[in-house]
Amino acid sequence: MSDFEPTIGIECHVQLKTKTKLFAAVGNDAREAEPNTLISHICLGMPGALPYLNEQAVDLACRAAFALGVEPQKFSKFDRKHYFYPDLPKGYQITQLHHPIVLGGKVKIKIDGKEKPIGVTRAHLEEDAGKNTHPEGKDYSLVDLNRAGTPLLEIVSEPDLHSAQEAKAYATELYLLMKYADVTEGDLYHGNMRFDVNVSVSKDSKLGIRTETKNLNSFKSVEKAIEYEIKRQTELIQKGKAVTQETRGWDDAKQKTTTQRSKEEAHDYRYMPDPDIPPLELTDKFINKVKSEMPVMMPDDWRYKLKGLGLNDQQIEILIQSELELQDKISILPLIEQHLSDKALAKFLANWNVNVFLPLVREGKLKLGKDYHLALEKSIYDLTNQNKLSSTNAKALFEKLISQEKLPEKVEDYAKAKGYIQVSDESEIAKIVSDVLTANPQAVEDIKKGEMKATGFLVGQVMKASRGQANPALAQKLIKSQIDKL
C-alpha cells in the first residue's frame, strides 16, 4: 500500500456572513429559520426576476483574497451553470467559471513540525442551492429553499496534498484564516464551511482516476473520508480493477464513502455568461478600503507573538483555535495583546488561559461576563507575584469567581475573607512547622540522612495543617532551618 502515492485537492464552500443573499434582499442566516421563510421571487426562479449583486459579499470575497496572501482580481464575471435538481428552482446556478474574483494564494500548514505551503488555484463567488431532506421510510423528499441564493466563496486548492493528515491540517488552517478575516460565521455544524475532497492514487507521477467526496462538514470527516478513499482505491488497483470517476458521499455512521452519481465534466453543465449580471470591476479605492479594514493579527502573526512568550506549538494552537470557539463568551488573545509590552504578564495570561481558564470553560463553569475577565486574571497575577496566593489557592479562587456574574469590589479583600490568602508571617508558620516536625520524626530522620524527598512530604503536611494558607517556599525554608538546629 505504501507503493501508492495519494494526490488530494480540496474545494471548500465558505458561506459568507452577509446580512442578505447574494442576489436578493432576503435574510441570509438560515441556521434557525423555519423552512422556506427566507425566500423571494429571485430564490424561487420566477420568470422576469432580475438578480442584484450584494456589495457586502464582494467585500468579504476580497477579505478572503487578502487572507490567502493575494489581491482580488479587479475584473471578474458571472456565469450560469445549468443542472436540474429540486433544490435549484431556476435550473441553473450563478457562479464564476472563466473570470473568478480570486486567482492564486496559499495556505501554510505544519506537519511533523515542518511547514508546507499549499497552493490555492482560485476562489470564486457563487450562490448556494437549497437543501433536500429525505424522511426515513417515506417515498418523498422535502425541499427547504432558505439556503438558496446564500453567497458562497468556493476556494479550490492545488493538488498539493498527499495524505489525510495534510488535508485535515489544510482544512483546519483555511477555517482559521476565514474566521480571523471575519469572512464567515464558520458554523461547521450548520454547513457554513463544507469541504469536497478529490482523491486519486497512483504508483507513478501520472495522476490516477479521481473521485470526489462531497459535503464534508468537519475536519475529522475530511480526514476519515480521505483515509477510506485511499484504502479503497488502492485495494481496487491491487486487484486489477478500475477506479471509477464519480461523486461519492460520506456515511458518518458506517465510516465509509458511498457512490452517489457519475462525475460530471464542465460541458455537462452548459456554462454560459449570465446576461443579467454585468461584469464586476473593482476600483483601487474599493480594494484598498477592504485591505485597510483587515485584522492586524492573523493566525501566523499570533503564532509568532506567542512563540516569543515561550509557549510550545500545542499551547499556541489551543489558544488560536479557542479564540474562535469562545468568541461569544470571551476574547482571550486581545487580552494578551494588550499586555505584550509586559512579557511576564503576557506569558502568565497565555499559560493561565491554556492550563486553567479554558478547561474550566469547557466544564461549563464560566458565568463571569467579558468585562470582568481581564481584571480578575490581572488580580490573580498580582497576588501570586506578591506571594499572597499559592498556585493551588490561585486556581481555587479563580474557579470560585468565574462562576459568579461579577467580581467583588476588591479581589484581595475577598480572598482574605474567604481564607485564600497565604500566610507569610514567619512566626506563625514556624509554630506550624515545629508541630509538624514533632509529629513526623521518621521524615526528620530521613532528611538528616540526606533523603531530601521527605522535605516535600513535610511541606505538604504544613500546607495541610494551615489549610493551604502557608507560603510553601517559606515553609520549606523554615523546615530546613529547624532541622539543622536539631
The pLDDT tens digits of the residues spanning 348-389 come to 999 999 999 889 888 888 776 666 777 888 899 999 998 888
pLDDT confidence band for 3 (50 / 70 / 90): confident
Residue 239, all three cell numbers: 486487484
Give CA separation, 371 vs 147, 258, 327, 376, 396, in Å. 36, 49, 13, 10, 21
DSSP letter string, 204-243 = SSS----EEEEEE-SHHHHHHHHHHHHHHHHHHHHTTPPP
| Architecture in CATH for domain 426-485 | Orthogonal Bundle (1.10)
Confidence of residue 329 (pLDDT cuts 50, 70, 90): low
Determine the Cα–Cα distance for residues 180 and 296; give it in Å rounded to an integer: 10
Q: pLDDT tens across 199-248, in order?
A: 999 988 788 999 999 999 999 999 999 999 999 999 999 999 999 999 99
**Strands in 279-431 per DSSP E:** 280-281
Q: Are 257 and 164 in contact (CB under 8 A)?
A: no
* Position 5 confidence tier, pLDDT thresholds 50, 70, 90: very high
Confidence of residue 1 (pLDDT cuts 50, 70, 90): very low
* Strand duo 131-133 + 211-216: pairing: unpaired
Q: At 401, list the grid cell.
A: 469567581
Q: Give pLDDT, residue 430.
A: 92
Q: What is the dihedral of CA 275, 278, 280, 282, to 10 degrees?
A: 170
What span, in angstroms and rounded, lies between the C-alpha atoms of 208 and 245? 10
Gap between the Cα atoms of 191 and 132, Å rounded: 14
Q: So what's the pLDDT on residue 370?
A: 62
Single-letter code of the amino acid located at 323: E
Q: Give the cell for residue 205.
A: 507521477
Minimum mean pLDDT range among 64-78, 201-215, 229-243, 315-329: 315-329
Q: How many residues are given for the chain?
A: 486
In the predicted structure, residue 2 carries a pLDDT above the cut 70: no
For 381, the 3-state DSSP assignment is: helix
Question: What's the pLDDT band for 332 if we cut at 50, 70, 90?
Answer: confident
Tens of pLDDT, residue by residue over 397-410, are: 999 998 887 888 89
Instruction: State pLDDT tens for residues 141-154.
Output: 999 999 999 999 99
Q: Where are the domains of the chain?
A: 5-284, 426-485
Contact 162, 205 (CB under 8 A): no
Per-residue pLDDT of 127-182, as tens digits, reads 999 988 888 889 999 999 999 999 999 999 999 999 999 999 999 999 999 999 99
The strand pair at 79-82 and 211-216 is best described as unpaired
Asked if 50 and 189 touch (Cβ cutoff 8 Å), the reply is no
At residue 63, the pLDDT reads 98
pLDDT at 311 over 80: yes
- Phi/psi at 387 (nearest 5 deg)? 60, 30
Instruction: Please determine, for residue 416, whether its predicted confidence score (pLDDT) is greater than 60.
Output: yes
